[in-house]
Structure formats: structure tokens, C-alpha cells
Copies of this chain bind each other. A is one copy, B any other.
């Protein structure tokens, strides 16, 4: 693996200036049912997920002539919506290549933001994106394998430390690793004593294995598509792995039942709508307190769980609120 220049806290600060007034400055929530836990509700962003932060910053960093030609990306959904949202605000063309198994609600949401959607088999996403970019002269803005995207997502961590300077631990989901890389950069940079712990679904725990092996281990899509947390089916890139090896304290895994029941608990006790990917971090606090203590030394002191998004099928949401899984 060649050495990478990693994102810095100053890069994240620059991103914060770009997203101000476009992304919501989300507060920390402390539901009375869960003393000691704070939620960072990124489901409240305009497109229902944190991804708007990275997308807005990445477009702001493009030279204006490159931006004017338009952008393209591949995404399981939320990054696609985020890029469509950011492109619409800039008035530039946007194409989103999506897996043909993506939830229909996510496909429709991207189209409603004025973007063109191209549906392909999951394994073909990256190749088709490159092909379309070359054929139409579009700039590729990938969902996580990009310094500006990582810096943009890192603003979540900047805000956590600003609002709760004595934070003991931040729990952050790991899919492609862009959010976890950015948050770990900001939190460790500003408060080195705080723990930053990644959370993955047990059935898509490729990042945990990659960190153990010290290289990007890819799990087959047949395996990772078994998780309901569709935003976390992706494998790491060399760039995100380099950030996580340096700055993440480790990874906890949670079961599908724990993820799904946490979606219901968040609606009932915190009054927010989370998608399964958005529920994995609070699920770790609800179900892995022992591991947080034994592996990471998190005993007292506030824990923040990032609720990454809220784009969930209404039928599934209703079931989970009733406690069915």
C-alpha cells in the first residue's frame, strides 16, 4: 500500500465553512430514557443523511470549469441524493449510478432532486460510473474514497467536540469508511483522549477484518447484502483504511436483530426516524456496553452515537415501531 496524505483537522475546518448554511447544524440529543448517551441526528439533514456534508464540500472544492461540466457518482442511495442535492444547488448536471437492488424510496428521492439515475447490478457500479464519466465529460465524485468527502463528513466530529468538549467516546458506523475517517480525524485531533469506535453489522464486518489484516479485505456482495443496513454493505478503500488504522480505536459488531430493534427504539424514545444503517451506532451503546468498557475502557463520561440517516421504507419502519422484526 503506498503512503497517503491523510486529511487534517484544518481540512475539516475548511469543510465546515463550506457547508455552513447548507447542511443543518445538528444538535446533540439526550433522550431521558438513555442517560449517558447522546445522539447526533444526521437524519435531520435536508436529504435525510450526513452525506450532504461531503457532497457539498466536494463540489465547493472543484474548479469552476470542471464543476460546470457536471458530476457523476455511484451510491447505494444516500450519497446519490446528497450529490443530486448539492448539484441542484449549483445548477449543474448530475448522474447517479445505483445498484438495481436499492430501495425504491431511495431511487425516487434521487430522481426528485433532478438527477438522472442509471440502475446496474451491484458489482458493476464502479466500472459503469467511470465509463459514463469518460463518455459524457463528467467529474466522478465517489461516495467515500476521496479526501474532500472525508473532510466534509468530518464536520460531524468537529460539531460533536464543540458541543460536548468532555466527550469520552464517539460511536460511528463504518461502511466505506468515509464518515468514520473524517470523524476520527476531527475527534482525535481535537481531543486525543476520546475514543472513536466504529460499528458494523456482524454480517458485513469487512472493515473489522481489514483492520485486523492491515489490508483492504473485500467481502462478496452476496454476503454483505444480507444486512438490512444497506448503507454499510460497501468495503473500505486503501484511503479510508489508512485513516482508520491511524485514528480509529477499533470496531464493534452488532446483529441484525439488534439493528432492527434499535430503529424502533429510536422512534419511540428519541422521536427520530432512523434507517437501519443509522441505527447501528446507538445499537452498539444499547447492546455492547460491556465491550465498550472491556475493550475500550469507556466507563463513565458521555458517549455520542452518530445516527447517520433516516431514509427507510415506511412499511419496515411501522413494523419496527411496533416491535416486530
Which residues of A approach B to under 8 Å, CB–CB?
24-33, 41, 43-44, 46-48, 85, 109, 112-113, 264, 267-268, 271-274, 310-311, 314-315, 317-319, 321-323
Given contacts A41-B44, A85-B32, contact A271 B271 (CB under 8 A): no
A32 touches B273 (CB 8 A): no
A32 touches B322 (CB 8 A): no
A24 touches B32 (CB 8 A): no
A321 / chain B contacts, CB cutoff of 8 Å: 314, 317-318, 321
CB of A39 to closest CB in B, whole Å: 9
B48 touches A30 (CB 8 A): no
Query: What's the Cα separation between A46 and B109 when bound, in Å?
Result: 31
A274 / chain B contacts, CB cutoff of 8 Å: 271
Other A-B contacts than A44-B272, A267-B273, A314-B323, 6 sampled, CB-CB below 8 A, are A25-B27, A32-B46, A41-B44, A267-B314, A267-B317, A318-B319
> What are 16 A-to-B residue pairs whose CB atoms are below 8 Å?
A26-B27, A27-B44, A29-B46, A30-B46, A32-B109, A33-B112, A41-B44, A44-B272, A264-B314, A271-B273, A272-B272, A314-B321, A314-B322, A315-B322, A317-B318, A318-B322
A46 / chain B contacts, CB cutoff of 8 Å: 29-32
A271 touches B310 (CB 8 A): yes
A268 touches B314 (CB 8 A): yes
A28 / chain B contacts, CB cutoff of 8 Å: 24
- Chain B residue with the shortest CB-CB distance to A268: B314
Query: What's the Cα separation between A112 and B34 when bound, in Å?
Result: 12
CB of A248 to closest CB in B, whole Å: 27
Query: What's the Cα separation between A47 and B33 when bound, in Å?
Result: 9
A322 / chain B contacts, CB cutoff of 8 Å: 314-315, 318
CB of A42 to closest CB in B, whole Å: 10
B48 touches A271 (CB 8 A): yes
CB of A96 to closest CB in B, whole Å: 15
Query: What's the Cα separation between A44 and B109 when bound, in Å?
Result: 25
- Chain B residue with the shortest CB-CB distance to A43: B271
Interface centre among A41, A271, A272 (most CB of B within 10 A): A271
A268 / chain B contacts, CB cutoff of 8 Å: 314
A318 / chain B contacts, CB cutoff of 8 Å: 317-319, 321-322
